[in-house]
Structure 1
Amino acid sequence: MNPSDYVYFIITKKPESPLHIKLGSICYIREYTYNTHNVSQPGRRTKLPVTFLKSLNNIIYNIDVICMEKLSLEEADFLLACEPEDERLHWFRDNAFQASLGLTVGTNVMVKEEDEMLMGVIRSGSMDIDIPSVEAHTDLSISLNSVVEVTLGKGNSYGIIRWIGRLPGREDKMVGLELEEACGVSDGTVHGVRYFDCPPKRALFVKLMSCRPDSRFQNISAQNNMMLELDKNGKFRVVEKLLIGRMKGIQGHCNSCYMDSALFGLFSCSSVLDSMLFKATTPQDAPIQRILLHDIVNPLRRCVCVSSFASFVRVAVGRQYPEEFLIIVMHHILVLEPLLKSAAGKVQESYCYQIFLDQNHSLVLPTVQQLLEHSFHSGGLKLAEVPSCLILQMPRFGKKFKMFSKIIPSLELDITDLLSEGPQQCIMCGHMAVEECADCFKEPVFSQTGFKVFCKTCSTQVHSHPQRLSHQPAALEVPKGYIDRGIPHSLTRDRLELFAVLCIETSHYVSFVKHGPNTRDWIFFDSMADREGGQRDGFNIPEVQACPEVGMYLEMSPAELANQVPRDMKGVAKRLFCDAYMYLYRSTSMCLYR
């Protein structure tokens, strides 16, 4: 039996017969048989001949389709491990179910066995959990990359656990700390053996028993990303995933908000730039890449608060803008291929694109799509290829001047007409375009967005009008061997998806991130949302909060948005529409994983 040859369902409504079928039961049918039943036909009630998994027999039952919901093979496999059936149905309907599908081999999890909390690692796709033996030490908030404190002769010191293990000649389990201050004894070595890297006099090796969670963050669990409960039958079930709350994301430190917001926006919920975390780099830059991957990105995705006093901060000393920081990391350190390749006579490469507009742009409440198109038009630019990640800087200068009081985020960017090569559709008839007219770009007769491209017939008709006789259409580069079959609207459009927005207000950067597929799946991150203590001995408190109100405003028409008074907008939505500094788009086909 090849599992992929079958279609799977979960029973969500009690069938009329047989009566012994339980809600939450999982059944299957051959894909060929399923396709022959035309279950998608409107108004038709269909019964499917299905067989139930984990049944003592292979009896086929005819179950009405309205009593079932379709599952993917992955979903069916995961849910099958949850028992009993009513509990399985509960988790199927819970938001945590989709989050739990992200659990992969090697993921650290916490499991609850009876009344005891144990830390484990997923060892196979069938949710086998490897639970190591429990030491005298049972505080599960202490693990690799945890922020802890220890008591030394001069008082309490704070640091990050960089290594856990046993040293030669020592029976106790030890940890290697990278301290906040230079009060340690080495740079990560003991008797000439290196266990981790850090600056001189910042490393300290102590017993694991001597560490305790950083009292400054005593209400924070460093392992609260995902919890599983082990029931009496030895089956695991998902309890919750915590993404929202105080002390989430990246902790702000000194003047680091530009860096915190950029890193959170790029990596918290998207993998489009993960290639830079794994590519080969020079020996001198390898530690930076390792810090970025192991100390920032991985903990961030486990919903562990990342402390930005880590070594990575030292890379960006003196950098004041997100684009400068990103260029330093991508180009000078990791030598990443430029994300954006534009063609203007010759190919020009860059990592970010600054939007510039001419004085006659006539835009009042623009979308990002319109801004990009007008900027490319005024600069005579085209994209040489589809970028994996497109980072757009809005038309504002410095930290105060903004060209527009509001900008409407485009959830998708259609870049088909911005490419220098590739088939395009005539805007009049939909057939293959062979000419483009830059003079028609701002023609009020045509649509407000998009470059104006035409087939030969439509171009001749359009430019026979007396007002367009002076226009000078230019030939498009049509791919060799491409044959226009005369089928309108059949060409595939190249689109990019919005996944994050960086905003600035009063010299402080924050970020919005799209974390799910639904319109209102937005979160807001501020690395310095609050502060505890004084200027010298205090610390910043980062916070991630849900902001579904952003999606509510994005569902409005441009006319409705134009009537919104910024100070009256709900929640933090005003900051997204009025303070946008940088938009981050991705090509979903180029993400390592989704």
Structure 2
Amino acid sequence: MAASLDEIPIFALEHKWNSDIETSSQNDEVDEIPKINHQQLQNTRDLSIGSCVKVLVDNDSHYGVIRWIGTIDRLNPNKLTAAIELDNIHPLATDGTYQNVRYFQCSPRKAWFTDLKDCHEYDMAASNCYYNQQDLNDFESIPSSIITGTVPPICVNGNLEKMCGKYRGIQGHHNSCYLDSTLFSMFAFTCAFDELLFRPPNDKDCPEYEEVQRILREEIVNPLRKDLFVRSDRVMKLRTLLEKSSSISGLTTEEKDPEEFLTSLVAQTLKAEPFLKLSSGQDAYHYQLFVDKDEKLVFPSVQQLLEQSFLQSNIKLKTAPSCLIIQMPRFGKTFKMYPKIQPTLLLDITDIVEDAPRWCTVCGKLAHFECKDCYGQCGEGLESIAFCKPCLKKAHSHELRTNHEPKTLTIAPAAYDATNNYSSVPRRYLELLAVVCIETSHYVSFVKCGSGFEAPWCFFDSMADRKGEQNGYNIPEMVPCPDFPYWLSEEGAKYLRTVSDDRVLPEHAKRLLCDAYMCMYQTPDLMVHK
């Protein structure tokens, strides 16, 4: 189910994360952990490391996760002790040490040691201080692991249908769909955003940085990739911390948009390097399509709208990005510039990257000029406005183009030299990895389950079903989408242009094409050439 670890950043594999430290090898002030007699662990009432438990601390119930089980009392070798990482701090708790011995590493005042028989696996899925008792009734007692270390993205081997079904993905709760669909798209089947999980902290980070990163990595992404299920209380921990660490309010209760979540998590809390660097001097984590509506475009593609937006804004990408998040031209939850938009499976970014070599639209040789006034006159798309010198002169000898103002293209020397290895200028592409959609304030996503043209697609809804009413809980679901490539193909587009009433479309096709809110792209495994 898991792919190779080759794609995990090397610094992530080499860095020693706090939550991975189970010995005191880096701390001379504490002794080594006692060896465990594994025969003692055979009768532990199904409790094990990673089990979510309830314990009494000073006669008050506390919730947490077992991090270690073994013998501490050498006078009573049959007595098993559990080292528990509490969900909330307690003044008598430690950072993972007991009697000068380190058993695991956690935040100060969150480690509690108690007799294993006093631990009780709880019946409610929520286990932390961010919920009151009424909230706890909204969750079912479904195991949700806490997994340390690195876990590669899910790899689909064989039939996707076996992997799909209910209780798959991230469980929704309290208007969390904006976050559930975004996280599922970013991490389930791709490592495009994995640097967010592994950057070591620095002096400029906020106090919540390490805990936010740990929860994201160990309680959401790793369990999602290994078990294909994340309980909503894990996500609520993240939401609560983000309210403290960012300027976005209402993250735990209110309806939000994916870009607000990305601003809170990626920009303000994790302080990641911006995904996009623009020729205007601005940096960005996602790109909003700003375009004037073209009445001639009945069913535009993301490729057309992206090129139109860059042309009208007079900007380019400073460098080719490894990932690109594009927000569709719609505002609020109701206004849509176009009733349907076709996400582009393979996005050509050759003509929007500054200093990148381009080919002449006439002869196919290396272009040295660009004429924006020729857009739509000599062909389709931005590739139609690039010319070599002879073809530029010939095209602009026409009386309708004599007043055009072409500009000289700048080409980076390294890129110029690289073109000599090809008979034609290579194109640069990004592949579609996910589409986040919205309908009546509810976000869902279509996600590519792997890389390459043959990879299947699935539909994910964190609130697909519900058990119970006021005190019930939501049930997430993954559904295979075998027809996804057809709806994004030329053949599918040809059929869709003939459809006057979108209500006749299949449910998933309608949601994909009519409700697209955000498209996510990543660099394909191999450079593709036309």
TM tier, smaller:
0.7 to 0.9
Looking at secondary structure, tell me which structure has more helix per residue: 2
> How many Å separate the matches in 1 of 2:275 and 2:361?
29
Query: Among residues 543, 559, 562, which one is paired with 2:494 in the alignment?
Result: 559
1:323 is matched with which residue: 254, 259, 267?
Answer: 259
TM-score, scaled to structure 2: 0.73
Match among 245, 250, 275 for residue 195 of structure 2: 275
- Partner residue in 2 for 1:446: 379
1:416 aligns with 2:336: no
* TM-score computed with the length of structure 1 as normaliser: 0.66
Q: Decide which of 139, 163, 167 is 1:247's aligned counterpart.
A: 167
CA contact (8 A) 1:519 1:551 kept: no
Aligned position for 2:42: 136
**CA spacing shift, 1:554–1:214, aligned 2, 3 Å:** farther
- Call closer, same or farther: CA 1:566–1:152 in 2, change over 3 Å: farther
RMSD between superposed Cα atoms in Å: 4.0
Percent identity, aligned pairs only, is 38
Other structure's SS at 2:517 match: strand
Offset at residue 312 of structure 1 (A): 1.0
Equivalent residue number for residue 479 of structure 1: 412
Distance 1:494 1:560, change over 3 A: same
Residue 464 (structure 2) aligns with: 529
Cα deviation, residue 501, structure 1: 1.0
Q: Comparing both structures, which one devotes a greater share of its residues to strand?
A: 1
Cα 1:244–1:326, aligned 2, differ >3 Å: closer, same or farther? Answer: same
1:303 to 2:212 alignment: no
Residue identity matched to 2:200: A
Residues 1:176 and 2:84 are matched in the alignment: yes
Mapped contact 1:144–1:164 kept (Cα < 8 A)? yes
Q: Deviations over 1:513-550 (max 9, x none)?
A: 10034456111111111222232x32221111212122
1:262 aligns with 2:262: no
Aligned-residue offset at 1:138: 7.8
TM-superposed deviation, 1:212: 4.3
- Is residue 337 from structure 1 mapped to residue 261 from structure 2 by the alignment? no
CA contact (8 A) 1:436 1:451 kept: no
1:373 alignment partner AA:
E
Instruction: Name the residue aligned to 1:351.
Output: 285
Q: In structure 2, how many angstroms separate the alpha carbons of the residues matched to 1:487 and 1:177?
A: 57
Partner of 1:163: 67
State the alpha-carbon separation in 2 of the partners of residues 207 and 312 from structure 1.
29
Q: Deviations over 1:415-464 (max 9, x none)?
A: 11101112110011000101101111122x41256451000111111111
Deviates more, 1:263-272 or 1:191-200: 191-200
Other-structure match for 1:430: 364
Given candidates 107, 116, 126, the residue that maps to 1:207 is 116
CA–CA distance in 1 between the matches of 2:456 and 2:341? Answer: 20
> Which residue, 397, 400, 408 being the options, matches 1:464?
397
Matched, 1:286 2:210: yes
**Structure 1, residues 8-56: CA drift from partner, whole Å, max 9, x if none?**
xxxxxxxxxxxxxxxxxxxxxxxxxxxxxxxxxxxxxxxxxxxxxxxxx
TM-aligned CA distance change 1:437 to 1:360, over 3 Å: same
Could you tell me which residue of structure 1 aligns to residue 434 of structure 2? 500
Q: Quote the Cα distance in structure 1 between the aligned partners of 2:454 and 2:159.
A: 22
The answer to whether residue 331 in structure 2 is matched with residue 397 in structure 1 is yes
Separation in 2, partners of 1:569, 1:363:
20
Separation (CA, whole Å) in 1 of partners of 2:353 and 2:509: 32
Contact kept, 8 Å, 1:246 with 1:541, in 2: the verdict is yes
Structure 2 residue 300 is the aligned partner of structure 1 residue 366: yes
Where does the alignment leave 5 or more consecutive residues of structure 1 unmatched? 1-98, 107-131, 226-237
Query: Would the aligned equivalents of 2:307 and 2:381 in 1 still touch at CA under 8 Å?
Result: no
1:568 to 486, 504, 515: 504
Aligned residue type for 1:521: P
Residue segments in structure 2 that go unaligned for 5+ positions in a row = 9-37, 126-138, 148-156, 244-249
- SS of 1:252 mapped into structure 2: coil
Number of aligned positions between the proteins: 448
CA distance in 1, matches of 2:406, 2:355: 17
Q: Give the 5 Å matches for 1:97-116.
A: 99=1, 102=4
Mapped to 2, the partners of 1:176 and 1:184 lie a distance apart of 15
User: Post-superposition shift, 1:587?
Assistant: 1.4
Q: CA deviation at 1:207?
A: 2.5
CA distance in 2, matches of 1:484, 1:246: 49
Q: Deviations over 1:328-384 (max 9, x none)?
A: 22222222111001103xx21110110000245642211111110000011001110
- Give the secondary structure class of the aligned counterpart of 1:501: strand
How far does the alpha carbon of each residue in 1:49-107 deviate from its partner, in whole angstroms, 9 at most, with x for none?
A: xxxxxxxxxxxxxxxxxxxxxxxxxxxxxxxxxxxxxxxxxxxxxxxxxx576489x9x
TM-superposed deviation, 1:176: 2.2
Q: Quick one: distance in 2 between partners of 1:534 and 1:149?
A: 26
Contact kept, 8 Å, 1:547 with 1:571, in 2: the verdict is no
How many angstroms does 1:221 deviate by?
Answer: 7.0
Alpha carbons of structure 1 residues 138 and 561: separation in structure 2 relative to 1, 3 Å: farther
Separation in 1, partners of 2:61, 2:462: 23
Aligned residue type for 2:504: D
What is the deviation of 1:137?
A: 4.4
Residues 439 and 145 from structure 1, CA distance in 2 versus in 1: closer, same or farther, beyond 3 angstroms? farther
Partner of 1:12: none
Q: Out of 546, 549, 552, which is 2:480 matched to?
A: 546
In the TM superposition, residue 510 of structure 1 has moved relative to its aligned partner by: 1.0
Quick one: which amino acid aligns to residue 584 of structure 1? M
Give the SS at the match of 2:197.
helix
- Mapping 1:39-118, distance limit 5 Å: 99=1, 102=4
Conserved 8 A contact 1:251-1:307? yes
Q: Secondary structure at the match of 1:255?
A: coil
How far residue 191 of structure 1 moved from its aligned partner, in angstroms, is 6.1
C-alpha displacement at 1:480, in angstroms?
A: 3.5
Cα distance in 1 for residues equivalent to 2:95 and 2:419: 67
Q: Which of 445, 463, 476 is the matching residue for 1:511?
A: 445
Task: Provide the C-alpha distance between the structure 2 equivalents of 1:393 and 1:208, rounded to a whole number of angstroms.
Answer: 53
Q: Contact 1:188/1:204 (CA < 8 Å) preserved in 2? A: no
